[in-house]
Amino acid sequence: MIGADFDVMLVVPAFLAGTLVLSTHVPLGQEVLKRGIIFIDIAIAQIAALGVIAATVFGGELHSWQIQLFAGLSAVAGAAFIHWLEKNHGAILEALIGLLFVLAASAGLLLASYAPNSDELLHDLLVGQILWVNSEQLLAVLTLYIPLLLIWFIIKRAQHPMLFYLLFSLAVTASVQLVGIYLVFASLILPALATRKIQNSNTRLFVAYSIGLTGYLAGLVASLLFDLPTGAIIVWTLLLSGFLIHHVTSRKFMAKWLR
């Protein structure tokens, strides 16, 4: 059923939130795919969510920045542990990261049973509340993402192996609380998958950003028009956007231009 009261102004802050998430997650997702550690994003996102749940359960009435700090420290600790696993157990890294995700998710469910409004808390962390983001949240994420992006595109990351994990954990910590775990995973992986065969790095980045922005905008509009769960429908529109653009860029007549 089409929603009767479509409010276009609801799309603006939500689309800005999606744009912020994509600004860091598109290049990070390409690096994840390059390294072959696909589950790291959802594992770190789940660890950050575990930090939020733990702060809510044990901290009582905390300020937003205190919850962010707790979540960030949890994610950084998880990223440091995965970096250690990569160096010492590289042959089974993906299996260990998957196990880490399951353990963090299970611990989150156990802790959430002691939290007030546990169902609402878990729902928000999984699918997010992107339609209800406010200017304060957007400004906080923007303040974090600007230095992260500057570091990502300026510093030679190959000389600092831990830098990727640090930037990744901080970016995901913010995005989980903005759009939820499902959209974090989709924003990282779907644009990267759809553009993986494009040889030119600048073109690949541009096309990946286009996929992400198109997917978010289409999902937000569809959510408001047809009264669908926003986070869930954006995952599907990201998939559709990625599939269509991948199909176009895979055609033989585009191959020479994309190289």
Q: What percent of the chain has pLDDT over 70?
A: 91
In a domain, 116, yes or no: yes
Reported as a single tens digit per residue, the pLDDT across 88-134 is 998 899 899 999 999 999 999 999 888 777 788 888 888 888 988 99
Residue 123 is part of a domain; what is its CATH number?
A: 1.10.3470.10
- Cβ neighbour number for residue 3 with a 10 Å cutoff: 12
In a domain, 242, yes or no: yes
Q: Tell me which amino acid residue 37 is.
A: I
pLDDT tier at 175 (50, 70, 90 boundaries)? Answer: very high
Tell me the residue range of the domain where 42 lies: 8-258
In a domain, 91, yes or no: yes
In a domain, 65, yes or no: yes
In a domain, 1, yes or no: no
Reported as a single tens digit per residue, the pLDDT across 65-83 is 778 788 889 999 999 999 8
Asked whether 134 and 13 are in contact (CB, 8 A), the reply is yes
Which of helix, strand or coil describes residue 89?
A: coil
User: Which tokens hold the place of 204?
Assistant: 């690949």
pLDDT tier at 202 (50, 70, 90 boundaries)? Answer: very high
pTM for the full predicted model: 0.86
Give CA–CA dist 182/127, Å, rounded: 6
Confidence (pLDDT) at 218:
96
What is the tally of structural domains in the chain?
1
Average pLDDT over residues 15-40: 92
In a domain, 3, yes or no: no
Give CA–CA dist 128/245, Å, rounded: 26
In a domain, 2, yes or no: no
- Residue 200 is classified by DSSP as S
Q: Give just the sign of the alpha carbon dihedral 219, 3, 133, 112.
A: negative
pLDDT tier at 6 (50, 70, 90 boundaries)? Answer: low
pLDDT tier at 217 (50, 70, 90 boundaries)? Answer: very high
User: Which tokens hold the place of 84?
Assistant: 């250690």
Nearest-5° Cα angle at 37, 238 to 215: 5
Confidence (pLDDT) at 76:
92
Reported as a single tens digit per residue, the pLDDT across 130-160 is 988 999 999 999 999 999 999 999 887 666 7
Confidence (pLDDT) at 220:
95
Residue 59 has pLDDT above 80, yes or no: no
Confidence (pLDDT) at 114:
85
Residue 184 has pLDDT above 90, yes or no: yes
Q: How many CA within 13 A on the CB side of residue 144? A: 23
pLDDT tier at 1 (50, 70, 90 boundaries)? Answer: very low
Confidence (pLDDT) at 199:
87
Confidence (pLDDT) at 158:
62
